């Protein structure tokens, strides 16, 4: 897909290079043209000089054809404004904003903008938010037969209980990350928008579990 990144600092440039290596087309926006030096001579994407929340600048970067947008400049306010413009004005679904102040991150999360607290998270986590698919292994037992993984969950599961998710997918939900904090759910816990679901499962069932989580409850792909 085409991905627009606002901010060409260390995180933005690393993110752009990693995404390009995965075969995506990239446009990087920064108000300082000298910042693009961090991308290196091999970078084949667009370099757009301008303000990242300006609509004309975003159009020049190809936002109208983009599937994801990352705001990783050095300013919290600029990042959240740009993220909201990308989502609300251009309808980009996969949006992430880098936030330095963790106390403000929860507020922005409630506005529907996934945030990444800079102190605790890095470009790898930004990749996970921009390309939410499949399972991301977090731990494996010594035999490799069982693993803990964060599994991308379809929005169709929002509003349903953890017990139903477990029954239909055959996994055990170990914990949720909600608004930046880990919680231990009960069978009555209801999934909310933005929840990250971490499950224990057999390694040989990854493909089936990914498919079941990607579909809605009661749809083909569960147990």
Please check whether residue 111 is in contact with residue 104, taking contact to mean a CB–CB distance below 8 angstroms. Answer: no
Q: What pLDDT score does 115 carry?
A: 74
Give the pLDDT confidence of 38-91 residue by residue, as tens digits: 999 999 999 999 999 999 999 999 999 999 999 999 888 899 899 999 999 999
State the pLDDT at residue 39. Answer: 95
Q: pLDDT for 1-12, tens place per residue?
A: 999 999 999 889
* pTM, entire model: 0.58
| Per-residue pLDDT, 212 | 87
For residues 171 and 41, give the distance between their C-alpha atoms in angstroms, rounded to a whole number.
Answer: 46
Residues 66, 120: Cα–Cα separation, whole Å = 27
Find where tokens 């980009």 sit: 92
Please state, in angstroms and rounded to a whole number, the distance separating the CA atoms of residues 51 and 37. 18
157, containing H or E segment? none
Strand order in the sheet with 2-6: 46-49, 25-30, 2-6, 66-71, 94-99, 115-117
Q: Pull the structure tokens for residue 171.
A: 């996994």
């Amino acid at each position: 897909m085409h991905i627009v990144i606002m901010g060409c600092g260390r995180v933005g440039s690393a993110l752009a290079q990693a995404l390009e290596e995965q075969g995506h087309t990239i446009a990087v926006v920064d108000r300082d043209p000298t910042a693009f030096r961090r991308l290196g001579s091999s970078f084949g994407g667009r370099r757009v000089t301008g303000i990242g929340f300006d609509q004309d600048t975003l159009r020049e970067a190809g936002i109208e054809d983009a599937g994801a947008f990352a705001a990783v400049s050095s300013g919290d306010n600029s990042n959240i404004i740009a993220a909201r413009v990308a989502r609300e004005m251009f309808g980009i679904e996969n949006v992430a904003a880098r936030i330095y102040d963790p106390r403000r991150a929860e507020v922005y999360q409630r506005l529907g903008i996934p945030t990444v607290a800079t102190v605790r998270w890095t470009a790898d986590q930004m990749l996970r938010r921009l390309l939410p698919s499949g399972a991301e292994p977090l731990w494996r037992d010594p035999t490799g037969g069982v693993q803990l993984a964060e599994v991308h969950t379809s929005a169709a599961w929002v509003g349903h209980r953890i017990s139903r998710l477990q029954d239909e997918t055959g996994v055990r939900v170990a914990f949720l990350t909600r608004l930046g904090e880990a919680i231990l759910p009960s069978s009555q816990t209801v999934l909310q928008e933005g929840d990250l679901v971490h499950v224990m499962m057999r390694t040989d069932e990854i493909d089936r579990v990914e498919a079941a989580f990607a579909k809605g409850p009661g749809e083909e792909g569960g147990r």
